[in-house]
Amino acid sequence: MPKTAMNLRYTLRLLLCICLAATHLSSPAADSAVTLRVGVLQFGTVNWELDVMQAHQLAQKRGINLKVVPLASGDASTVALQGGAVDVIVSDWIWVTRQRAEGLNYAFAPYSNAVGSVMVKADSALRNVADLKGKSIGISGGPSDKVWLLLRAYASKKFNLDLATAAKPVYAAPPLLNELALSGQVDAALNVWHFDARLQANGMRPLIGLPEILAGLGVDKPMPLIGWVFREDWANQNREVLEHFLAASQEAKGLMAKSEPEWERLKPLMRAEDNATFVALKAGYRNGIASCDHADGQATVASVFKVLAETGGEKLVGKSRSLSEGTFWNGFKLPACPKN
pLDDT at 3: 46
Indicate the domain borders of the chain: 32-113+224-317, 117-216
Phi–psi pair at 92, nearest 5 degrees: -115, 165
pLDDT band at residue 7, thresholds of 50, 70 and 90?
Answer: very low
> Given this chain, do its domains 32-113+224-317 and 117-216 carry the same CATH topology?
yes
C-alpha–C-alpha distance, residues 79 and 254, integer Å: 31
Q: What percentage of residues in the chain have a pLDDT greater than 70?
A: 91
23, 70, 86, 326 from 226: Cα distances, Å: 42, 18, 18, 16
For residues 113 and 224, the answer to whether their CB atoms sit within 8 Å is yes
Task: Tell me the CATH number of domain 32-113+224-317, given options 3.40.50.1370, 3.20.20.70, 3.40.50.2020, 3.40.190.10.
Answer: 3.40.190.10
pLDDT at 340: 63
pLDDT at 31: 53
pLDDT at 278: 97
C-alpha–C-alpha distance, residues 67 and 89, integer Å: 12
pLDDT at 236: 96
Which tens digit of pLDDT belongs to each residue from 280-315?
Answer: 999 999 999 988 887 777 888 999 999 999 999 888
Which tens digit of pLDDT belongs to each residue from 168-226?
Answer: 999 999 999 999 999 999 999 999 999 999 999 999 999 999 999 999 999 888 888 89
Q: What percentage of residues in the chain have a pLDDT greater than 90?
A: 75
- A 10 A CB-CB count for 271 gives 10
State in Å, rounded, how far the first CA of the chain is from the last one: 86
Three-state secondary-structure class, residue 146: helix
120, 203, 206, 208 from 123: Cα distances, Å: 8, 9, 12, 15
Q: By C-alpha distance, which of 32, 124, 94, 120 is closest to 229?
A: 94
The continuous run of DSSP H or E covering 59 comes out as: none
pLDDT band at residue 74, thresholds of 50, 70 and 90?
Answer: confident
pLDDT at 90: 96
C-alpha–C-alpha distance, residues 272 and 284, integer Å: 13
Which tens digit of pLDDT belongs to each residue from 26-46?
Answer: 333 445 789 999 999 988 999
Three-state secondary-structure class, residue 293: strand
- A 10 A CB-CB count for 168 gives 16
CATH no., domain 117-216: 3.40.190.10
Q: What's the one-letter identity of residue 292?
A: C
pLDDT at 257: 97
DSSP 85: S
CA angle, 164 as apex, 159 and 168 as ends, to 5°? 105
pLDDT band at residue 338, thresholds of 50, 70 and 90?
Answer: confident
Which tens digit of pLDDT belongs to each residue from 119-166?
Answer: 999 999 999 999 999 999 999 988 999 999 999 999 999 999 999 999
DSSP string, 30-43: HHHPEEEEEEEETT
